[in-house]
Structures are given as C-alpha cells and as structure tokens.
Amino acid sequence: MSLRDRSPSRPAGATRITLVRHGETDWNAQGRLQGQLQIPLNRRGRAQAEALATLLRDTRIDAVYSSDLLRALQTARTIVRHRGHEVHEDTRLREWDLGVLVGLCRAQAEHDQPYAARIRREYRVDEPIPGGESIRQRYERVIAAVGEIAARHRREDILVVSHGGPLGDCYRRTVGKDIRERMRIDLRNATVNQVLIDGNDWNLVFWARTDHLADVGSRPNWGGHR
C-alpha cells in the first residue's frame, strides 16, 4: 500500500509533502554532531535508504528536493533511482550550521566549547552558535524553502529529503508551536513524515513513521529537543 493510499483527502490546491530524514551515518552512530559536513551513509544507512525506496515504490512523486549534503543526497537518489526523477538540491534544506560544535560528541562539546554547548542545551533561539547559525535562522530558511516548494508544485506530491533539525522545524510549523517553546521530537534516521500545505495552511497527515525499518533498525534521536 502506498503512502498516498493511507492519507486523507486533501484540499484542491494543497501540496502533499513527504518529508524524509536521511539514513544513518557513522557519526550518527557515534553521537557526533555533523552539522553541515559532508558525511556519507554507513552500511545501515544505505539499508535504510533501500527500505525507504521499497516503502515509497508505489507512492506518487511528482518532484524530488533534497539538502545538498551527501547523506541526504544519497538517501534521495536511492529512493528514486528507478523512477527517472531529477533530485533538485537546495542548500536551505541543510542541517543546522553548528559552527565550532561540529565533530564533537555531547561530552566533548561541554568540555571544549562550553559557551556554544550552552546555547544548544539551553535552547537560546536567537543566539548563533559561534561560527554557525541560530535556531531561528535555521527555522526561517527551512520553512521558507519548504513553503516555496509547495507553492511551486500546487496540487502535486513532492518528496523532500532533509535532516533532523529542519524536519523538526517543519513539525513545529505544522502543529503551530512557537519557536521559543521547547519540544522533544523523536526523528530517527530514515523516518517518513507527511504534511499538506495550502498557502499558509500547514496540516499534519502523519509523523515519524518507522515500520519500514523493522528489519534494519533505527537509533533514537539522541540530539534532544528540536
């Protein structure tokens, strides 16, 4: 059964956006902050991408957009490799630019970069990570990108492959939570999520589907609130 078959009917002008988080990388497995570095999928991540391709095989997809980071592109290209779709890269779909925190595990970040780690831990929305960006800056670029994609493809079915932070932003926008309010969202690698967008009206269809990963597994999102 396709995802389209499982979804409710939509308003005439709405775009159906299927949001997918990239598959696992070695840095995900190690709990290291990747930010915007070019980290490839690991063995399990590639298996997760294959599971996504199987899940979405019979689902209508009119266009495909992805973060330009390697882990997202590898996931997107695996999903559509037999469908003939071009994968449109959009840098606005990148993960949070974590600046000086990139490459560090949580304990290392607290020890080596305590100021930057505090920004992340205390959810200081408007304070940029040194060398990177703020949560609000990430949120604004991601929501603008997804909104523009929806407007460009009204009444179509679109696949967007991105990262935990950006997809958490989409969930927040869809359920109407203010960016200053803490939320804890479990967005495991290779989860599938779906929203309907009709102008400024964003509606949730389903979130954090993982049943397609039963045979390959997916780690909990250790990164905390989004």
pLDDT single digits (tens) 4-62: 555 556 777 899 999 999 999 999 999 999 999 999 999 999 999 999 999 999 999 99
Q: Is residue 108 part of a domain?
A: no
Predicted local confidence at residue 217, as pLDDT:
86
Task: Enumerate the active-site residues.
Answer: 22, 95
The two beta strands, 192-198 and 201-209, are antiparallel
H helices within the chain, ranges in order? 3-6, 26-30, 43-55, 70-80, 106-112, 114-121, 135-152, 164-175
Task: Answer for the pair 13, 154: CB distance below 8 angstroms, yes or no.
Answer: yes
Asked which of 95-104, 127-136, 175-184 is least confident by mean pLDDT, the reply is: 175-184
Domain span at residue 58 reads: 13-98+134-213
In a domain, 38, yes or no: yes
Asked if the structure places residue 159 within a domain, the reply is: yes
Tell me, yes or no, whether 150 lies in a domain. yes
Residue 105 domain-assigned (yes or no): no
Please report where in the chains the tokens 């973060």 appear, as a residue: 67
Assign residue 203 the CATH number of its domain: 3.40.50.1240
| Residue 125 counted as domain residue | no
Domain assignment present for residue 207? The answer is yes
Tokens of 87: 């994968």
Question: What is the total count of domains within the chain?
Answer: 1
pTM over 0.95: no
Per-residue pLDDT at 39: 96
- Among 16-20, 83-87, 129-133, the range scoring the smallest mean pLDDT is 83-87
102: left (phi over 0), alpha (psi -120 to 50) or beta: beta
**Is 109 part of any domain?**
no
